[in-house]
Amino acid sequence: MDRNRRSAIVSWIFVAALVGLTLALAALQYRSIDEISRQEQERMRRNLASGLERVSEDFNTAVHAAAAALLLPETVDGGDREQAWLAHYAQWRQAEDRRRLFVHIVRVVREGAEITPREPDQAGGRFFTPAPEPGWSPLLEQMRLRSQPGYSGPDGPLRNETPDLLETPWWGGEEPGSSQPREWLLCQIDLGYVGDELLPALLNRHLGAGAAAEYRFQVNRGFPAGATLIPGVTSDPIHANAADGRVALLTERRAGRGRGEGVPARWELLVQHREGSVESAVSSARLRSIGATTAILILMLLAIGSLVHFTLRAQRLAEIQMQFVAGVSHEVRTPLTVIRNATYNLSHGVVNVNDPRQLERYLKLILTQAEKLTDIVEQVMRFATAKAGKVVSRRETVWVGPVIEEALAMSEAVLAQSRCVVEKNIDPALAPVLGDPVAIRHALQNLIGNASKYGADGGWIGITAENSDGQAGRLCVITVADRGPGIPMAEQKAIFDPFYRGRSAVDDQVSGAGLGLTLVRRIVEEQNGSIEVQSRPGEGAAFIMRFPALSPEQIDEFADTAD
């Protein structure tokens, strides 16, 4: 026992060391997760900023390159210019990405002091005068004023307050030193195409595949600052202060003959992570990592605890089995020794075989010890049968009263040896149960035998059988009680375990194999019943078996039946 106790202590020390090591690893892992989260947040910020710069560069290049490609070479002049432009426009339309970028393309031709807007039709075969678009009037008025003879106003880029309208001047063939272009090209950007296709494609290209799904974007008017041009989302607008990244769009220099002045950004692109912010996304990933790590650590601790638990349980079982082997060996050796000595005495003339009393005493001694040996073998065999699931061989209507009488009759020798008085109290109206009468009788014999051995000091055994109402219906309750020393509370949960014997039974060298109560529980549970023990030290013990009682209708149904 001391050796097993030392082994258990060593095992628990080992468990404590493993738990401490696991907690230390957990602390290191959490610190590592925090550091990785900070680095990931910084990386995402850097990548977002550099990616948005590339998005802005590619977007500006695409828009201005598409507009510049519509301009005729400066060598084209005279009457051929209109037809040349239409031919050039037809060729320009062959590139789908260019064609879809603009919803309106208008040439504003300066003819003396007047200007004439001209828009090509869809086929690009002729020009027509377009209807005035809302917001274009201030820009057209500026063009008209600059076409007047002797214009002395400001020279430079037009003031364009229509954010989706891109104006490009053309000086083709103008005399050197002219301050005003010969034509203007107005291109109105298709905001639907930009928001639905162009910007998502650029975001996926420069921020990584799936970035358009990972991030929300919104395009606001840049200069002068104004409302949202492209929402990018259907709800929950992005506020500038809450954006994870922002970049200016449409900031390219305007093409012109010696007039490449920079212009303020017309658009501003705002980007926000769909979880609210980059910090929120990293925090969510951190929490998921911590959750996964915690789950793994808990599983490790559970595995360690289970390993130690089952190891200790195996050690305890091995100890109990060794005690069982030692106990059974002792129990078998004692009757065999008595039988052998009695037989030797009879066969070698030590006993006068002609003396009937002496011969009868020896024969009774041999018979008694042979019965003890038979009981031990039957206990072991019944335990093996119970482990194979064959503890109950048949089921029929069982009247408990006669079964109790049979059990008492078969326990006469044990009761006589213990000199206990048996007090019976069987309800005359006791309901029958469905079960195996032989198995129930064997359970009763075990309980009566235990009461005789452990409750002999009290000199009394009480057996009661009565009906009771339970939650699942009517019950037949059988109680076997004694007035012995009782069972300690610490042992009451273990007394039904195989091979278990209480400390007092071992110290007092009470005979037994530690299988009786295990068999009783298996017999009762196999017949849909239950068993419990009620005991206090010094006040005896009571074992209570409860079986489902049969109703009158069931008695007829199960009459003369067997499994």
Tell whether 433 and 472 lie within a shared domain.
Answer: yes
Measure the CA–CA gap between 224 and 266, rounded to whole angstroms.
Answer: 7
Measure the CA–CA gap between 523 and 386, rounded to whole angstroms.
Answer: 8
E strand intervals along 260-352: 267-273
Tell whether 410 and 503 lie within a shared domain.
Answer: yes
Tell whether 141 and 52 lie within a shared domain.
Answer: no
Tell whether 142 and 274 lie within a shared domain.
Answer: yes
Q: Which of 278, 300, 329 is the last residue of a domain?
A: 278
The dihedral over CA atoms of 308, 314, 320, 321, expressed in degrees to the nearest 10, equals -170
DSSP readout, 64-117? HHHHHTTSPPTT--TTHHHHHHHHHHHHHTTSHHHHHHEEEEEEEEEETTEEEE
For residue 376, tell me if it sits in a domain: yes
For residue 23, tell me if it sits in a domain: yes
Tell whether 401 and 379 lie within a shared domain.
Answer: yes
Tell whether 134 and 184 lie within a shared domain.
Answer: yes
Is the distance from CB of 99 to CB of 135 less than 8 angstroms? no
Measure the CA–CA gap between 219 and 136, rounded to whole angstroms.
Answer: 21
Pick from 556, 534, 554, 553: which is nearest to 545 by CA? 534
Measure the CA–CA gap between 410 and 336, rounded to whole angstroms.
Answer: 22
Structure tokens at 410: 């078969």
Tell whether 387 and 294 lie within a shared domain.
Answer: no
For residue 152, tell me if it sits in a domain: no
Backbone dihedral angles phi then psi of residue 547, each to the nearest 5 degrees: -120, 145
For residue 562, tell me if it sits in a domain: no
Neighbouring-strand partners of residue 110:
115
**pTM of whole model > 0.85?**
no
- 496-505 contact pairs (CB < 8 A, 24+): 496/520, 496/521, 496/531, 497/320, 498/320, 498/383, 499/317, 499/320, 499/321, 499/323, 499/324, 500/320, 501/323, 501/327, 505/454
The count of domains in the chain is: 4
Pick from 517, 529, 518, 519: which is nearest to 433 by CA? 529
Tell whether 46 and 73 lie within a shared domain.
Answer: no
The pLDDT score that the predictor gives to residue 74 is: 67
Measure the CA–CA gap between 185 and 73, rounded to whole angstroms.
Answer: 14
pLDDT means per 10 residues in the chain (563 residues)?
A: 64 77 84 88 91 92 89 68 84 85 88 83 79 82 82 77 85 61 87 91 90 88 76 75 88 47 74 88 87 85 80 73 63 76 77 76 80 71 59 78 90 83 89 88 88 78 88 85 84 73 55 71 87 86 90 64 46
Structure tokens at 48: 């977002």
Is the distance from CB of 168 to CB of 182 less than 8 angstroms? no
Burial of 156 (0-12, 13-18, 19+ CB in 10 A): exposed
Tell whether 394 and 414 lie within a shared domain.
Answer: yes
For residue 155, tell me if it sits in a domain: no
Measure the CA–CA gap between 167 and 158, rounded to whole angstroms.
Answer: 8
Backbone dihedral angles phi then psi of residue 393, each to the nearest 5 degrees: -95, -25
The pLDDT score that the predictor gives to residue 563 is: 44
Q: If residue 369 lies in a helix (H) or strand (E), which one and from where to where? A: helix 356-387
The pLDDT score that the predictor gives to residue 261 is: 46
Measure the CA–CA gap between 167 and 520, rounded to whole angstroms.
Answer: 100
The pLDDT score that the predictor gives to residue 385 is: 62
Is the distance from CB of 449 to CB of 516 less than 8 angstroms? yes
For residue 261, tell me if it sits in a domain: yes
Tell whether 185 and 294 lie within a shared domain.
Answer: no
Pick from 329, 54, 341: which is nearest to 46 by CA? 54
Residue type, 247: V
Q: Which of 335, 359, 383 is the last residue of a domain?
A: 359
Measure the CA–CA gap between 188 and 102, rounded to whole angstroms.
Answer: 5
Tell whether 352 and 453 lie within a shared domain.
Answer: no
Tell whether 141 and 45 lie within a shared domain.
Answer: no
Measure the CA–CA gap between 413 and 391, rounded to whole angstroms.
Answer: 25
For residue 300, tell me if it sits in a domain: yes
Is the distance from CB of 186 to CB of 104 less than 8 angstroms? yes
Give just the sign of the alpha carbon dihedral 54, 55, 60, 63: positive
Structure tokens at 467: 């009906």
Query: Can you give the C-alpha Rg of the chain in angstroms?
Result: 51
Which CATH number does the domain housing residue 547 bear? Answer: 3.30.565.10
Burial of 301 (0-12, 13-18, 19+ CB in 10 A): middle
The alpha carbon of residue 183 and the mean position of all alpha carbons in its chain are separated, in whole angstroms, by 69
The pLDDT score that the predictor gives to residue 206 is: 92
Measure the CA–CA gap between 141 and 76, rounded to whole angstroms.
Answer: 27
For residue 130, tell me if it sits in a domain: yes
Q: If residue 206 lies in a helix (H) or strand (E), which one and from where to where? A: helix 199-207
**Which residues, 6 or more positions from 436, have their beta carbon under 8 angstroms from its beta carbon?**
392, 393, 394, 395, 396, 398, 523, 527
Domain hosting 518: range is 372-557
Neighbouring-strand partners of residue 481:
462, 542
Structure tokens at 69: 């490609």
Measure the CA–CA gap between 423 and 436, rounded to whole angstroms.
Answer: 25
Q: Which of 359, 386, 414 is the last residue of a domain?
A: 359
Q: What is the DSSP letter of 231?
A: -
Residue type, 74: E
The pLDDT score that the predictor gives to residue 562 is: 45
